[in-house]
């Protein structure tokens, strides 16, 4: 029987890329085997064979654990998942590392995640989270999503009128080094509305000192991680709430290069050095 299974696996002619292998490692035990096979455009038997070769163990569907990146993607934070992962972990989110060969993934128990988020609801917005996409969700999540929907609708109906308390919250979030994109999510407004209001407040004497935003360690880390993921400058600028020219200039200064291709090569070299050390 074992010999027969080995022969079945050897009949697979399509080579597994590193990207497909990483996907399988990350979602094995989280998504069903047919779902993984469909996403990878492979047969169920091919997926099971590859999982066996990697030593992934028995597929425990509905195990209660899900990758942190999957959660952040479903909540609308795919482009800044690295930054938000650190933010949640620093705040005390319980997690464990699921290691497979040279790769490792942060996974969390979904019940522990809901318990943690109930105590830290201001850390993230639930407006973009599809109902029950992560499984059955607590009642408080439905209530918070409804409140965020209502707030967004109220802002639209009020023609995006800015009140004094809105300005105060905007200033506070800027002081805390949130990007315009993140502030837009938190305040249920468009990123353009946030940027335009910030530009208007910048011209007033009361707030002029707040907008010397510059670059700090947080957004430099986000910039580096997005470059590592080979994201275009336009997307990085959108995530950071900065102009294309601003981000491009920072990349050149950060890596002491003259082209984006040289910057990508610098990132690749740095990551290779890290892997050799580890």
Q: What is the pLDDT of residue 62?
A: 43
CA-to-CA distance for 31 and 56, rounded, in angstroms?
14
pLDDT the model gives residue 12: 54
Q: Which two tokens stand for residue 141?
A: 């999540």
Q: How far apart are CA 36 and CA 165, in angstroms?
A: 47
Nearest to 226 by CA among 240, 214, 246, 213: 240
Q: What CA–CA distance (Å, rounded) separates 173 from 201?
A: 14
DSSP state of 116: H
SS3 content of the chain, % helix, strand, coil (to 5): 65, 5, 30
260 is written with which tokens? 């984006």
pLDDT of residue 154: 60
Residue 6 is predicted with a pLDDT of 47
pLDDT computed for residue 101 by the predictor: 53
The one-digit pLDDT tens for each residue of the chain (278 residues) are 444 444 456 555 688 888 888 888 777 766 677 888 888 989 888 888 888 787 665 554 445 677 888 888 888 887 777 888 888 999 999 988 876 555 677 888 888 999 999 999 888 888 878 887 777 789 999 888 888 877 766 655 444 678 888 888 888 887 776 777 778 878 878 777 887 888 777 766 565 555 555 677 888 888 888 888 888 888 888 787 777 777 888 888 888 888 888 888 888 888 877 776 65
CA 233/CA 29 separation, integer angstroms: 35
Q: What's the token pair of residue 170? A: 């905007």
Supply angle C-alpha 115, 119, 125, rounded to 5. Answer: 95
């Amino acid at each position: 029987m074992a010999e027969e299974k080995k022969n079945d696996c050897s009949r697979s002619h399509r080579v597994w890329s590193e990207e497909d292998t990483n996907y399988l490692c990350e979602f094995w035990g989280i998504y069903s085997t047919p779902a993984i096979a469909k996403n990878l455009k492979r047969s169920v038997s091919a997926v099971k064979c590859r999982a066996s070769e990697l030593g992934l163990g028995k597929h425990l569907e509905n195990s209660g654990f899900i990758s942190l990146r999957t959660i952040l993607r479903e909540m609308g934070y795919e482009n800044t998942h690295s930054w938000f992962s650190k933010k949640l972990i620093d705040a005390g989110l319980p997690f464990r590392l699921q290691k497979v060969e040279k790769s490792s993934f942060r996974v969390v128990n979904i019940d522990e995640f809901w318990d943690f988020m109930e105590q830290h609801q201001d850390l993230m917005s639930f407006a973009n989270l599809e109902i029950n996409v992560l499984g059955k969700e607590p009642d408080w999540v439905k209530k918070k999503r409804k409140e965020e929907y209502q707030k967004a609708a109220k802002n639209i109906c009020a023609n995006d009128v800015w009140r004094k308390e809105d300005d105060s919250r905007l200033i506070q979030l800027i002081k805390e080094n949130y990007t315009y994109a993140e502030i837009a999510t938190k305040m249920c407004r468009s990123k353009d509305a946030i940027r335009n209001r910030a530009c208007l407040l910048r011209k007033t004497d009361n707030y002029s000192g707040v907008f010397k935003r510059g670059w700090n360690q947080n957004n430099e880390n986000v910039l580096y991680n997005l470059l590592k993921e080979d994201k275009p400058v336009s997307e990085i600028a959108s995530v950071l709430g900065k102009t294309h020219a601003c981000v491009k200039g920072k990349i050149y200064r950060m890596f002491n290069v003259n082209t984006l291709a040289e910057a990508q090569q610098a990132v690749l070299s740095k990551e290779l050095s890290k892997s050799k050390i580890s």
